[in-house]
Chains A and B, each alone.
Chain A
Amino acid sequence: MADEKKYTTVSIPKPLYDKIKKRIEGTGFTSVSDYVTYVLREVLASLEEEEKEEVFTEEEEEKVKERLRALGYLD
């Protein structure tokens, strides 16, 4: 059983590192890595949100609509 989550190393410019280090002082973030992970997750999530929505087949959609009508959810 894996006890630890696998991590990898990425490089960021030293001035940026220093800037982030200063920025997270007094916040809940305990390391630059934590902050960078947080920001990247946020950025990725917003990019994914822009991707197109899920589509259902016409047949599937019609079948579902029929059930929703029968149950009174749709007119």
Chain B
Amino acid sequence: MVSKPHGGKLVRRLVAERTRERILSEQKEYPSVKIDHGRAIDLENIAHGVYSPLKGFLTSDDFQSVLDHMRLSDDTPWTIPIVLDVMEKTFDEGDAVLLYYEDIPIARMHVEEIYTYDKREFAQKVFKTTDPNHPGVAKVYSMGEYLVGGEIELLNEVPNPFAKYTLRPVETRILFKERGWKTIVAFQTRNVPHLGHEYVQKAALTFVDGLFINPVLGKKKKGDYRDEVIIKAYEVLFEHYYPKNAATLATVRYEMRYAGPREAIHHAIMRKNFGATHFIVGRDHAGVGDYYGPYEAWDMFDNFPDLGITPMFIREAFYCRKCGGMVNAKICPHPEEFHVRISGTKLRKMIMAGEQPPEYMMRPEVYEVIRSFEKPFVE
């Protein structure tokens, strides 16, 4: 059977239509709080159960427990603080407030607690560094002085140009059931696929019923592939190289934290909520720069025997000239000189220079898709 939702029950925080209309008709009566895109996406993920068992933003007990123990205060594994920050207190504990993203009332929140926190402690414990050059740390340092905890109810979806590809946990669970998949391996990505990715995914699929490719769409850095390029590249890969009834593609919106090992656990929890039973943990998963060891995320899973989703640790794939195919360090006996590592950065440079990568690095169909976009990269 597909995974049980994290914490036991799939959270759904969507208000009934009549209640929604009533709240919206009374919106001027609520204190309003503006939130950024990342928090709006968090809200959506809470409401649709991607972050089950969270029903809202963390209160101080849970926040501190996540920092100190990587668990919610009820002992459920949870590694990334999902918090709402505000610059000043314009409402009180006990109030219901409306959260707005770009003038759209996204959710109602029942404010249980407003509390202060130590940003350096947050950074050190979650990111293992207080270096402001780390993008996750920089984000924490830019946050407001207070955190607001409490349950939420979703009123409106955040505008989504990729709604067609965005499935919610309730949908993927039914999809997997309809396809007869009992074991599903999820793959997290924020890149166009190269042969190394394909090797890892197919190696994992060998052991389960279905492969769930779940690209993260959202805020990107300059030079990253644009979201539509990633989707189209996977579509063409599916069309030509994946078994029709054993793989599916759906996106999730989520703001990367770059918290390495801690975030690898968070990514696994999200996929467990989608129904996946297995999760591929890559090399330097959710890392950035040199802040984490290449396989540090693998070790982190030892701390969570009760995670409820099985990590699959598949080594980085490379092309071996002697083997004549994609292999990994465990199965290839040949020395380094025969190995061609497939680097995303190198591929990007080749593509930017108009050079087609060799077929052992990138499928020609994928390259054609990228080329078909006038501007495939974020500027």
Chain A residues packing against B (C-beta within 8 Å): 1-5, 28, 38, 41-42, 44-45, 48-49, 51, 53-54, 56, 60-61, 64-65, 67-68, 71, 73-74
Closest to A54 in B: B10
B164 at the interface (CB under 8 A from A): yes
Closest to B307 in A: A45
Interface string of B45-88 (1 = CB under 8 A from A): 00000000000000011001100110001010000000000000
A-B CB contact pairs (8 Å), 14 listed: A1-B60, A1-B115, A2-B64, A5-B65, A28-B302, A42-B305, A42-B306, A44-B306, A45-B307, A48-B308, A51-B4, A64-B171, A68-B167, A68-B178
B201 at the interface (CB under 8 A from A): no
Contact B174–A68 (Cβ < 8 Å) = yes
Q: How many whole Å from A73's CB to the nearest CB in chain B?
A: 6
Contact A45–B68 (Cβ < 8 Å) = no
Contact of A54 among B5, B115, B175 (CB under 8 A): B5
A41-B305, A51-B4, A54-B5 as given contacts; A64 in contact with B64, CB under 8 Å: no
A53-B4, A64-B170 as given contacts; A5 in contact with B68, CB under 8 Å: yes
B214 at the interface (CB under 8 A from A): no
Q: How many whole Å from A46's CB to the nearest CB in chain B?
A: 9
A45-B305, A49-B4, A49-B308 as given contacts; A54 in contact with B174, CB under 8 Å: no
Distance between Cα atoms of A45 and B75 in the complex (Å): 12
Contact A53–B170 (Cβ < 8 Å) = no
Distance between Cα atoms of A45 and B7 in the complex (Å): 10
Interface residue ranges of B241-258 to A (CB < 8 Å): 248, 250
Q: Which residues of A contact B174 (CB under 8 A)?
A: 56, 61, 64-65, 68
B8 at the interface (CB under 8 A from A): yes
Chain B residues packing against A (C-beta within 8 Å): 1-2, 4-5, 8-10, 60-61, 64-65, 68-69, 73, 75, 115, 164, 167, 170-171, 173-175, 178, 248, 250, 302, 305-308
Q: Which residues of A contact B10 (CB under 8 A)?
A: 54
Closest to A41 in B: B306
Q: Which residues of B contact A2 (CB under 8 A)?
A: 60-61, 64-65, 73
Contact A54–B173 (Cβ < 8 Å) = yes
Distance between Cα atoms of A54 and B1 in the complex (Å): 10
Closest to A65 in B: B174
Closest to B77 in A: A41
Contact A3–B175 (Cβ < 8 Å) = no
Distance between Cα atoms of A45 and B171 in the complex (Å): 25
Q: How many whole Å from A25's CB to the nearest CB in chain B?
A: 18
Contact of A65 among B69, B178, B308 (CB under 8 A): B178
Contact A5–B69 (Cβ < 8 Å) = yes
Distance between Cα atoms of A22 and B196 in the complex (Å): 44
Contact A48–B4 (Cβ < 8 Å) = yes
Contact A74–B306 (Cβ < 8 Å) = no
A64-B170, A68-B175, A74-B178 as given contacts; A45 in contact with B308, CB under 8 Å: yes
Q: Which residues of A contact B5 (CB under 8 A)?
A: 54
Closest to A73 in B: B175
Distance between Cα atoms of A53 and B250 in the complex (Å): 23
